[in-house]
Chain A
């Protein structure tokens, strides 16, 4: 492992009140997508599709864990977790989360996200692209349940769907 200059910490989100007294905490979605897809472009170009997807999944996973611990905190039961997650995702303009299936005993879930931050409105590409979201959901679920989850996007705006659908299965 090469020496690192710095890893992620929540401090890197910064003090937005202090830093952006006039512009505030919001920015245009185009800017988010511009950064995400140019970053992915370079990752794929330099390291190949598989590695780029792997990095995106891992980054999403880290984001999910950080999001849970800093923006959600300890949750009660699954319903409370989903309810709070739904409202937080909606309030922050990330997406509209819905549960299709939740088998708590088996650790098996089907979730959908409409108006997704990453992909809604993109042209049809014939393949699912929300790899970052997969990792993000995996990090959230692991933070809540204390178990590892493998999350896979099975339907995506980019494959013609109007909502992104994810399956999540507990690992091991």
Chain B
């Protein structure tokens, strides 16, 4: 070996040692980001590799810290594998966002054991949300319904009736109200027991639900008293509905203790004519309508029960 060859060999060894030292620092020392050793500046391939390692190191650190927006410029297998992990994690983020918006069809199939856990969680979430929604619907139903008759309760009747009155005023529509009260209901309870009384109330509720239109609003007003709102119905139509239900109740019977119980009911009908005024105190109007129907109902009671009276006959004679 000549002296020159020996010197070159020593220089290569020195460069190799420097390069290993520098790359080792790049891999193992987080603080190492400075300029490469001056003796390495002439070795382009080495510097390129060094640059790759430094960027991949930053990329790994970013992913480890949960930063998925790191934009890696390096190409090649190692950077590519990390970009794939980044792509998976970003897609997982998007999927999680979709789940949070209620899309429970999202499934993960690229994250090993985590996929199964995630998918199970989404399925559980879907089931839980469904149960909660069903439960909420049930509670809402309970909050607005009279359990015995299946009709709306008084409070919900007022909510719906106010909406109907507002609509009637806005579009200048007629509206009618029927109040009905079961005759001698106390006697039913006293004679046949409360269970029989409950059955009579349930039968009345069922009859109203079956015979009225879907747009009509029927509710248990209290005790054995019921109220029905008939949207877009004039006097004649309202009287016809009241007469029909009156006949049907008289025709029906409930069996209790081997005995057939028949009941009758008294009816009062009131009417809100169409008006071009288009406004008014909705609550007061509704109260007046109900009061008028109630007064007519008491006229029917006073006249011997088991009949229909209206609020306008006195007006017209």
Contacts and interface: CB of A to CB of B under 8 A. Distances in A.
Contacts of A107: none
Contacts of A99: 91, 94
A16 interface: no
A79 B98 contact: yes
Interface string B76-109: 1111110110011011011000100001010000
B75 A160 contact: yes
A112 interface: yes
Contact of B81 (A79, A83, A124, A162): A162
A101 B90 contact: yes
Interface residues on B, range: 10 to 19
B90 A110 contact: yes
Interface residues of A, number: 20
Given A79-B98, A79-B103, A83-B105, A161 B83 contact: yes
A163 interface: yes
Interface in A139-158: 155, 157
Given A79-B103, A83-B105, A126-B75, A162 B91 contact: no
Nearest to A113: B87
Judged by DSSP, the binding face of B is helix
Contact of A161 (B84, B91, B98): B84
A165 B77 contact: no
A155 B81 CA distance: 11
A85 B277 CA distance: 56
Interface of A: 79, 83, 98-102, 110, 112, 114, 124, 126, 155, 157, 159-163, 165
Interface of B: 75-81, 83-84, 87-88, 90-91, 93-94, 98, 103, 105, 110
Given A98-B94, A159-B80, A162-B83, 6 more contacts: A100-B87, A100-B93, A100-B94, A101-B90, A102-B94, A126-B75
